Chain A
Amino acid sequence: MAALIKIFFALVTVTLLHAHFNLGMFSSSTDAPTSELHEDRKSLRVGHLPVTCHLTCPVTSWVSKHSDEHSEFVSWRYTSWPALTEDIDAGNLDAGFILAPLAMVMQRQGTPVKIVHLGHRDGTAMVVKKDSPYQTFADLRGKRIAIPHRYSNQRILIEKLKDQFQFADNEITLIDYPPPEMPAGLRSGQFDAYIVGEPFAAKAEVDGFGRVLYFTKDIWPNFISCVLVVTERLIERDPEIVRELVQGISASGKWLDEGDERLIAGLASEQNATSSASNAVVIPAAFGRTPRMQAAWIASRQEYYNQDPELLKYVLTRPVDRVSYSQLNLAREDFAEIQTYAERLGFFSFRPVTENDPFDFDDYCDSSFERSGEWELQLGEESVAGVVDDEMRLNEAMPRDEVRE
């Protein structure tokens, strides 16, 4: 009996510890992930993978955490696509970044999700071994190429290249492969090339055995890989928070591409580290101060990507247009092109698109949140996103919190 009591006591203890330290219960700290039912300040979980394509998500989350005017967007990191889509299906997650064709397939299959914004443009590369003879896609005739997901736009890109280089259908073998393992797979010769979002393409380059054959910007400019998706139940329940999220993502993207070297709220430079607020995160001077470097520093933190900042830095700067975060508004013709290929590849074979059962842009996209967004709504967002007042300009390196005091 005594043993049973001991076991019970251990169970209760471990539950309390877990609830406190991992689920953030019984604590007032806003750092910990809290439940969606926050009393005065709304909070929304946004799912993403630790890939560079989703960089606007941690930035928006960071901005929302360091500003009082906004709802809190909690960045929720998944380790794989299925884990993320299953959570959407199950009703545990209402917003997230997913592959564009995958979002279409989900909607077509009956999961009520809407694409409300793009996550980024470009940011995908095709990689071959450094010492391989391949110079263009034509050299890959009859070879094996790894893709990140069956319903990825990367697969559609390969299809597009096959058209362009007049390949027969069976002249390329595609392999579904987990992105983190792609560099190792290429090295060990399991396939001859792979196409994937960053940082998994840059990884092979950084390690010295890979060579980028194509950046998407060279073969399909403004390539769309991942999109911001929200569930229809969230749109119904709280359209305001969706609007806020879309505008936050949009402002974060704009800042990433066009912002100047002023530090975002919550970051402090080394010389100001001691004087500024104790909770500000110090960014080393040597790391760089462009918005992308600031974002890389933020994203490398444990609660976001937990990744090596140097790798993120590499991806974001070599070259800078390897990935871009502007022009994120939904465009009908982009999706029409993706959908044409998706239909051809049989993505909707479970429910073919016919005249009686149509499927188009308005079924899977909702651009009203970006159209209805007046910039006045985003004043707070904008000011932290780089446009600062004169007082700040005089004292550039100072974080915003301190100026406010």
Chain B
Amino acid sequence: MKRIRKLLRGLAGLGFFVLCWQLATWGNSRTDVPGPWLAIQGVSELAGQGLLWRYVVASLFRVMWGFALAVLVGVPLGLAIGRSRWVRELVNPLVQALRPISPIAWLPIAVLVFGGVRWWEPSDLAAIFLIFLASIFPIITAATSAVEGIDEKYLRVAANFEIGGFAMLFQVILPAALPQILTGLRLALGIAWVVLVAAEMLGVQSGLGFQINDSRNNLRYDLVVAAMLVISLIGICLDAAMARIENSALSRRGTAKR
């Protein structure tokens, strides 16, 4: 019953927004701000052309790789920064210096760095690089603060049992830091997905961000909003998937939220 009420409230909020949107754009054609009906027609037009799912695949491809690489690099680095003083002193200033730079500023550099690559479409690699950059800093920060926040008791007990090295890492530190790291990953994935539109301003020929940039050139604002709808939907799905991973990982350790 509680769940149904929650769902209904959510729908009411969404419905209110759609209603306002419809009223504000009443009678608009494609060339003005398009209303919800035009946008939905746009989605079905894209789907009918067979473009939609191709573009979804392209965008997912870039975001998944960028994010996966960011996790692979960011989590160990964050753990190391949190655990070891000399790593922190060595790396932290660099991380803090790079963190405030918007990934969009990296656009030209990303293109030049991956210029002339032959084994894969270079613009794809540049887009992946941008998404990597956007998501790695929240991951590092989350992992660092997770390790720093581990209760000193655990570490002392582990030391008393003469646990060290890898056992310490995998049996004490990771489990203790996991909840916070996973929350950080979830946030980072959200950011990675947000940066997509900017990353696909490059010379790519596919993807939802490309669809937005391309539809601007084509003066098809209905398709811009259609792509926004799809981005939003997939963003929700990605977040839900991440939440599931989070919960299943936590419940195995008996620390699930609910």
Q: Point out residues on A near B: beta carbons under 8 Å.
A: 3, 7, 10-11, 14-15, 17-18, 21-23, 33, 35, 47, 49-51, 76-80, 82-84, 86-87, 89-93, 178-181, 183, 199-200, 203, 207, 302, 305-308, 311
Contacts and interface: CB of A to CB of B under 8 A. Distances in A.
| Highest count of chain A CB atoms <10 Å: which of B61, B64, B201, B203 | B203
Given A10-B64, A87-B111, A90-B112, A79 B216 contact: yes
A89 B57 CA distance: 28
A165 B1 CA distance: 76
Contacts of A15: 61, 65
Interface string B114-149: 111110011110000000000000000000000000
A210 to B, nearest CB: 12
B249 A3 contact: yes
A18 B57 contact: yes
B49 interface: yes
B10 to A, nearest CB: 27
Nearest to B33: A184
Those 9 A-B pairs whose CB atoms lie nearest each other, nearest first: A90-B115, A91-B116, A79-B213, A18-B61, A22-B206, A86-B111, A91-B115, A180-B216, A87-B203
| Highest count of chain B CB atoms <10 Å: which of A79, A89, A181 | A79
18 contacts: A3-B249, A11-B64, A11-B68, A15-B65, A17-B61, A22-B54, A47-B203, A51-B217, A77-B205, A79-B213, A89-B111, A90-B116, A91-B116, A180-B216, A180-B219, A203-B219, A302-B49, A308-B219
A92 B123 contact: yes
Nearest to B216: A180
B249 A22 contact: no
Interface in B14-67: 31, 49, 51, 54, 57-58, 60-61, 64-65
Contacts of B116: 90-92
A89 B201 contact: no
Contact of B114 (A18, A90, A305, A311): A90
Nearest to B54: A21
B210 interface: yes
Given A3-B245, A50-B214, A308-B218, 5 more contacts: A22-B206, A78-B203, A79-B213, A80-B201, A86-B202
A155 B213 CA distance: 24
A90 B57 CA distance: 26
Contacts of A76: 203, 205
A14 B218 CA distance: 28
Nearest to A2: B248
Contacts of B248: 3
Contacts of B201: 79-80, 83
A178 B202 CA distance: 16
A11 B57 CA distance: 11
B100 interface: no
Interface of B: 31, 49, 51, 54, 57-58, 60-61, 64-65, 68, 107-108, 111-118, 121-124, 201-203, 205-206, 210, 213-214, 216-220, 245, 248-249
A47 B202 CA distance: 12
Contacts of A89: 111-112, 115
Contact of B203 (A22, A35, A83): A83
| Highest count of chain B CB atoms <10 Å: which of A3, A35, A90, A181 | A90
Contacts, number: 113
B218 A305 contact: yes
B57 A14 contact: yes
Contacts of B218: 50, 305-308
Contacts of B249: 3
A180 B248 CA distance: 47
A92 B125 CA distance: 12
Contacts of B114: 90
A22 B58 contact: yes
A11 B115 contact: no
A77 B115 contact: no
A23 B124 CA distance: 10
B202 A83 contact: yes
| Highest count of chain A CB atoms <10 Å: which of B58, B205, B217, B248 | B217
Contacts of A14: 57, 60-61, 64
B216 A181 contact: yes
Nearest to A89: B112
A11 B217 contact: no
B108 A82 contact: yes
B57 A22 contact: yes
Contacts of A305: 218
Contacts of B217: 49-51, 79, 179-180
Nearest to B30: A308
A311 B205 contact: no
B220 A79 contact: no
B222 to A, nearest CB: 11
A311 B219 contact: yes
Contacts of A83: 111, 201-203
Nearest to A86: B111
A175 to B, nearest CB: 18
Contacts of A10: 64
B126 to A, nearest CB: 8
Contacts of A35: 118
A33 B65 CA distance: 22
A77 B213 CA distance: 11
A44 B108 CA distance: 23
A79 B245 contact: no
B220 to A, nearest CB: 7
A267 B71 CA distance: 50
A50 B213 CA distance: 11
Contacts of B219: 180, 183, 199-200, 203, 307-308, 311
